[in-house]
Structure 1
């Protein structure tokens, strides 16, 4: 099966109806939290909380800048992220792979594990095609032409866009920047796997509301998966 999500930020405005996004069949969002050591996205906390209330898996991302202090960037990101998966946006002006790992390590040292890494193939080539075999949750981007519903634009699970690089398989594919979703044109992403596998990739087995209450999942298999995770956690020393 193929699961779809969207990638949003202040550039898309603060008014995307995430309840409608969920009704249209999307399962997850990526939303911008911060950039460098100087910018916080004012749309983040509302998009995070509204997405969770509507049963969407959420990852918040930091746009990594090579020209800013790593520790200051990690402090800014971790301080704003809250209850969501952590994602690094590593592309133009982000520097080399050493900068990437310095930031990942800085975030991890602050008690938050990086779950996802947006690294387009073109940028990987631009920085010398380094080894990516250990990066968490690789998201690659290659765009199809045109606009329309995400499911119609999607190039398919056998598209060459999915071919891995840097010694790493591609986990998620951003395949357009012009999907028509909830009355907006946004970036759309695909995951070729099950809901359970996607939850594990996000490091967040079940969306939660701002009150901290676990939200019901729409699929009985996901509920069963969640119960098993709870049993395993309870049995752990």
Structure 2
């Protein structure tokens, strides 16, 4: 199945009615949070809260700038993101792939996973076609002509717009900047899969839960799921690969937090394994 969503920011104004967006059949919203180390999109908090209130999955994105300190950008972004999935907007003026990874790692070091990466094919080609195989949640953009409803404009699941690049399959496709949605012309995105697959990509829990989770609201389940993700990331490191700042064990692998604590206590398991 194909699921549609929209991408909005202050450029669309503060009055995109997300209740109407949901009624028109859209299932997710991506909205701008910050840019560089100083710009804050004042439309974000209301759009985030309206998305939650109307059952729309929501991700907030940071427009990454090469000419700003990466750590400062991560601080600004997470200070304003709140309870939404993470997304980096990496395109014109964002620099090379090393800037991308520096920002992603800065976000991860602050206890948040990175869920989505807007990195269009045209920009990938501009920066020398780097390897993208480990990029989280790749969003590619290629636009059809005209302005109409998203369903009419969508080029189809077999469109070459979906072709993999940089060693990475495309997870979402932004296929127009002129979809007519809730009386506005906006960017529209497509996801080919189930809603639970999309929820997983964005770091949200599945729609079907069992046992004690049934007593929690959707927001409480989302909050719990994200906290478990953050605890796992802190213990195991980004993508479970350990923390480079904690050094390496005898096998050349980055140490986890538990490895580092054991080493401080004088009983490093990685040293024992080689004795």
User: Normalized against structure 2, the TM-score is what?
Assistant: 0.76
Give the distance between the partners of 2:172 and 2:48, measured in 1 at CA. Answer: 20
* 1:30-70 Cα shifts (integer Å, max 9, x gaps): 00000000100000010000000100000000000000000
Larger CA Rg, structure 1 vs 2: 2
Contact in 2 for aligned 1:88/1:116 (Cα 8 Å): yes
- Where does structure 1 differ by over 4 angstroms across 4 or more consecutive aligned residues? none
User: Normalized against structure 1, the TM-score is what?
Assistant: 0.88
Structure with bigger RCO (C-alpha 8 Å, 6+ apart): 1
Contact in 2 for aligned 1:206/1:214 (Cα 8 Å): no
2:62 pairs with 1:89 = no
Deviation of 1:213 after TM superposition, in Å, equals 4.2
Deviation of 1:204 after TM superposition, in Å, equals 1.3
RMSD: 2.1
2:17 pairs with 1:12 = no
Contact in 1 for aligned 2:139/2:174 (Cα 8 Å): yes
2:181 pairs with 1:214 = no
1:86-235 equivalent positions in 2, closer than 5 A: 86-205=86-205, 213-214=217-218
User: Secondary structure of the residue that 2:6 maps to in structure 1?
Assistant: strand
Give the distance between the partners of 1:59 and 1:187, measured in 2 at CA. Answer: 14
5+ residue gaps, structure 1 = 216-225
Give the distance between the partners of 1:103 and 1:204, measured in 2 at CA. Answer: 22
Contact in 1 for aligned 2:196/2:206 (Cα 8 Å): no
User: Secondary structure of the residue that 1:7 maps to in structure 2?
Assistant: strand
* 1:121-149 Cα shifts (integer Å, max 9, x gaps): 00000000000000000000000000000
Q: Which residue of 1 aligns with 2:63?
A: 63
User: Secondary structure of the residue that 1:114 maps to in structure 2?
Assistant: coil
Contact in 1 for aligned 2:200/2:206 (Cα 8 Å): no
* 1:155-193 Cα shifts (integer Å, max 9, x gaps): 000000000100000000000000000000000000011
Give the distance between the partners of 1:59 and 1:205, measured in 2 at CA. Answer: 14
